[in-house]
Amino acid sequence: MAFSWHGVFPALLTPFTANDEPDLDLFGKNLDAQLDAGVDGIILGGTLGEASTLQTEEKKQLVEYSLKKLGGKIPVVMNIAESSAREALNQVKNAEKWGVQGLMALPPMRYKSDEGETIAWFTMIANATSLPVMIYNNPVDYKIEVTPDMFAELAVCENITAIKESTRDVTNVTRMRNRFGDRFKLLCGVDTLAMEELCLGADGWVAGLVDAFPHETVAIYRLVKAGKIAEATSIYRWFMPLLELDIHPKLVQYIKLAATATGIGSEYVRAPRLPITGVERQQVMAVINEGIRTRPELPDYLSL
């Protein structure tokens, strides 16, 4: 499936059962909600998917289930987040074998590679596949920044076609456009900056709170791209307290709690993560419950 990196791509949660196994029934329920909301693709095994705790067989389960359920309606993208080159290449090979339509690639895990090593890492991944690759640029969480100069070197890899922009610097959208034009598609990777970056010309949004509030997320994207800024702003302002759950170290627990509250997720996480309790839980639930209580009526955004 040929596809364009544009629109809303949920970084999907991996729901687990009480027995610590992937809950495919609940995963399918969330996937149905995403399709109904009008998302443009899905990303499996990212940070919100608890990538570091998933076994290869579990990734295969999620990929094969998604491909069968979606039936080619939207692309399935798999995340590559590994510590060694050998394992990264194994996962790229698996992704192709399983039939995904694209890859998202993180820099090396647990080692702060320098510029040359980072360029070599992404080049290795791109050269090992014919699939389109989106580079996840998140120096805040992963301590490695891919600079415009580095992207200039990576541009020789024709299948590196997109960037998940998570530097927290909205100016980077303009810097990249000024330097590269449309060579790379730019997708915002930080929920609390999404509307700002979309207004500056980002092509899409790799979203987190979409896992609990898919319709509102897609509505903002569609309204901005249709030039209906005031309508999008009204929804975005309502959404902001919820979107801030995406920029906390416990974003997985928080967003799983939100998805549980909206009926399309569960709280189960995989150790070393633990469910949140006590005052912390009360504070997060207060934000979620207020968001649900004041949930806005949406315009017919799918017709835009």
Q: Note down pLDDT in tens along the chain; length 304 residues.
A: 789 999 999 999 999 999 999 999 999 999 999 999 999 999 999 999 999 899 999 999 999 999 999 999 999 999 999 999 999 999 999 999 999 999 999 999 989 999 999 999 999 999 999 999 999 999 999 999 999 999 999 999 999 999 999 999 999 999 999 999 999 999 999 999 999 999 999 999 999 999 999 999 999 999 999 999 999 999 999 999 999 999 999 999 999 999 999 999 999 999 999 999 999 999 999 999 999 999 999 999 999 9
Q: According to the model, what pLDDT value does residue 1 have?
A: 74
Neighbours of 131 (CB within 10 A): 18
DSSP string, 186-215: EEE--GGGHHHHHHTT--EEEESGGGT-HH
Helix, strand, coil percentages for the chain (3-state, nearest 5): 50, 10, 35
Q: How far apart are CA 238 and CA 97, in angstroms?
A: 42
Q: How far apart are CA 204 and CA 186, in angstroms?
A: 7
Its domain, for residue 13, covers 7-298
Domain count, the chain: 1
Cα of 52 vs its chain's centroid, Å: 15
Is the residue at 2 inside a domain? no
Bond from prior residue into 272 cis (ω within 30 degrees of 0): yes
**Of residues 202, 246, 247, the one with CA closest to residue 224:** 202
- Type of residue numbered 82: E
**Of residues 197, 177, 178, 175, the one with CA closest to residue 187:** 197
Is the residue at 1 inside a domain? no
Q: How far apart are CA 12 and CA 22, in angstroms?
A: 13
Is the residue at 260 inside a domain? yes
Is the residue at 304 inside a domain? no
- Token representation of residue 2: 């040929």
Q: Please give the C-alpha separations between residue 4 and each of 64, 177, 186, in angstroms, as whole numbers.
A: 22, 17, 11
**Of residues 94, 116, 90, 92, the one with CA closest to residue 105:** 92
Is the residue at 167 inside a domain? yes
* pTM attached to this predicted model: 0.97
What's the CATH number where 207 sits?
3.20.20.70
Report the residue count for the chain: 304
Q: Output b/e per residue, 174-183; b: 16+ Cβ within 10 A.
A: eebbeeeeee
Is the residue at 197 inside a domain? yes
Bond from prior residue into 296 cis (ω within 30 degrees of 0): no
Is the residue at 233 inside a domain? yes
Q: How far apart are CA 238 and CA 207, in angstroms?
A: 16
**Of residues 206, 109, 212, the one with CA closest to residue 166:** 206
Is the residue at 199 inside a domain? yes
